[in-house]
A and B are shown apart, each in its own frame.
Chain A
Amino acid sequence: MTGLQLYLILGAAVFLLGLHALLMTTDSIRRLIAVNLMGAGIFLIMVALAGRISPPDPVLHALVVTGLVVAISATAFALRLITAAARIDSGQSAIPDKASRLASKTLSDVAEDSRP
């Protein structure tokens, strides 16, 4: 087995581990970590593929760097959203902004069905 194959298999294994964790857990933070693991697997595959020729392919390195930027911003956004959602679940006020106050007001009258 060549080094390239080894890294490709490793990358695929990390990706599948992440996918497994994603499907098996319900906790949002754990699921987010699982998604990040899947991403790490793909980046591993991409970096390994860059080494298939010599000198290593710079295009794939550039793609991985771009992918990392996307992954970091998406993770930050997801963390903010998940913590906000969790605060609401536990009854604390999340962000007392005007839009959500308005929204909760219109949503609170769900019992309108009992009207004649």
Chain B
Amino acid sequence: MTYALVSLSIPLLSALVLMLAGARLSKRNAGIMAILTSLLSLVAAWFCLLDVAAANQSILLNLGGWENGLAIRLRLSPLSSLLLLFAAFMHVLIGIYAGFSRQSVSRDFWTLSCVLHGSLAALWLSADLFNLYITLELLGLTAVAMVALAGKKAYKPASNYLILSLVASLFYLLGVALVYGRYGSLDVVLLGLQTQSDTTTRIALLVMTAGLMLKAALWPLHLWLPAAHANAPTAVSALLSGLVVKGPIFILWLLWSEVAPVDLAQQIGPVLAVAGMIALVAGGLSAMRSPYLKTLVAYSTVAQLGYAMMALGLLMTWQLPQMHVALWLFVIAHGLAKATLFLAAGEMQTTLGTKRVSGLRGATQTVPVAMFAFAVAGGSLIGLPPSGGFLAKWVLLEPMLSSPQNWPWAFGVLLGTLVSAAYIFRVVAISFDRARINPPDVRPDRLGHWLALLPALMVWGMALIGEWLIEFLSGGGV
């Protein structure tokens, strides 16, 4: 647990220092400090993963030494240690990209990225509904501020995003108040033992679910996401799509897999799974038709979150532990792949001087590394073996294919795969049009391109540790 606390507090402390130092620290030094912070946090998260793997169970900590029920509890489960590692890795990678590639960021980026890292780490570790509300609010405010970093044009989308994010957290807070009024407890573990499916619990859980779905941009509450994610600076888009939307999903999963009574979860599960299926198709079709590259990638986030929602819905319906594994494999595989897609898209945009998909003609020749990264990460989104996306999809498909009454769900996955393939291949096909090349404005930035490729290779490398990952996550999903 000590390592987890270190991994959580380093970014927060560093954010404080960066904020107090302000202009006294040059932009470059601020960047180096933020990257070192994420690196230290990454090392701590690694040790914490080893700890949990050795203990093979969740570790609980009552803050301030108060007794159960009054204390704010932190919990380090195998999953949260993995997510700590994942968040820290993404911050290191995107930090290096933001600091050393040609895409310059303003000084405030570094402070905000440290706050974002800290609040994500706090979210993974919290096991208290109100504490989760605080982390959710922190995450939302930081994300909005980061979108606004893109400058004047982004203020409007940022303020819309902020209002929606506030409303979503208020819905969640209403649910928390109702739960506390009914059971007199906010602790996730204690609530799991107490909850019954009566009207108050039902209303509370539905209100919380609506709020969290809005925050995570799950269909049909996704409309704010493309504007916010496509208008942010490249490094921020990658952080938002890869990490920030995963926070509310974590809380949603915590609510339905632990807090909610089983019979209620079984009633709501199919609804969420169907919404996930629609998200896959609707998001995919929007991505297919989008004229702008970054909007295409943002809509693909909407579509891919459909898989996560489907895994969650089916987890609730069937109560199969395997679905935990599918859900979190999707989340991690999507985070890595989406980081690549946004970084590659940003690189191609600056090099080719166009925001449109049609401007990518001949990209295989002019920006080969970035285009290769885009295609490779796209392969994982489609679910081509042996990528991380394939691994997740395989775990999801296994129980569907084993019994004939589940085949309609498998059809949904198949449809989603086809639509993903359609929008990825649309970009790849245009990039092979070497007859009418769109000449690059500037020489490609080598570092940026190779950095974009790195997470794509990692997501394909996930297959190498696939067995260990599945075992680790199913050993104690909670």
Contact = CB atoms under 8 A, between A and B. Distances in A.
Interface string A75-91: 00110011011001100
Given A49-B180, A77-B144, A100-B151, A35 B173 contact: no
A59 B180 contact: yes
Given A103-B152, A113-B356, A42 B438 contact: no
Chain B at the A interface: SS class: helix
B474 interface: no
A74 B153 contact: no
Chain A CB within 10 A, most for which of B130, B145, B159: B159
Contacts of B70: 59
Contacts, number: 114
Given A46-B177, A66-B134, A81-B162, A103 B356 contact: no
Interface residues of A, number: 47
Nearest to A109: B353
A116 B208 CA distance: 52
Interface residues of B, number: 43
Contacts of B445: none
Nearest to B166: A35
A102 B162 contact: no
B159 A81 contact: yes
A114 to B, nearest CB: 11
B28 interface: no
Contacts of A28: 159, 163
A102 B167 contact: no
B259 interface: no
B167 A113 contact: no
Given A35-B170, A88-B152, A113-B354, A97 B134 contact: no
Nearest to B148: A81
Nearest to A53: B184
A42 B174 contact: yes
Contact of B162 (A59, A77, A107): A77
Most buried by A among B151, B174, B355: B151
Contacts of A97: 106, 151
A101 to B, nearest CB: 8
B151 A113 contact: no
Given A35-B170, A85-B156, A49 B104 contact: no
Contact of B151 (A66, A70, A104): A104
Given A70-B137, A103-B152, A112-B354, A15 B174 contact: yes
B181 interface: yes
Contact of B150 (A45, A57, A81, A103): A103
Interface in A1-19: 15, 19
B228 to A, nearest CB: 13
Contacts of B180: 46, 49, 59-60, 63
A103 B155 contact: no
Contact of B106 (A35, A67, A98): A98
Contacts of B353: 109, 112
Given A49-B180, A59-B70, A78 B163 contact: yes
B141 interface: yes
A32 B148 CA distance: 18
B170 A38 contact: yes
A73 interface: yes
A24 interface: no
B424 interface: no
Nearest to A101: B151
Nearest to A67: B173
Contact of A77 (B141, B173, B178): B141
Interface in B429-446: 438
A20 interface: no
B149 interface: yes
B325 interface: no
Contact of B166 (A57, A78, A99, A115): A78
Interface in B183-240: 184, 186, 233
Contacts of A101: 151
B153 A107 contact: yes
A103 B177 contact: no
Nearest to A28: B159
A49 to B, nearest CB: 4
A35 B163 contact: yes
Contacts of A110: 355
Closest 4 CB pairs of A and B: A103-B151, A100-B151, A85-B155, A99-B106
Given A84-B152, A99-B149, 10 more contacts: A52-B181, A57-B184, A59-B180, A77-B141, A82-B159, A89-B156, A106-B350, A110-B355, A112-B353, A113-B359
21 contacts: A22-B163, A35-B170, A38-B167, A42-B170, A46-B180, A66-B134, A74-B137, A74-B162, A77-B144, A85-B155, A85-B158, A88-B153, A97-B106, A100-B151, A103-B150, A103-B151, A107-B153, A109-B353, A112-B353, A112-B355, A113-B354
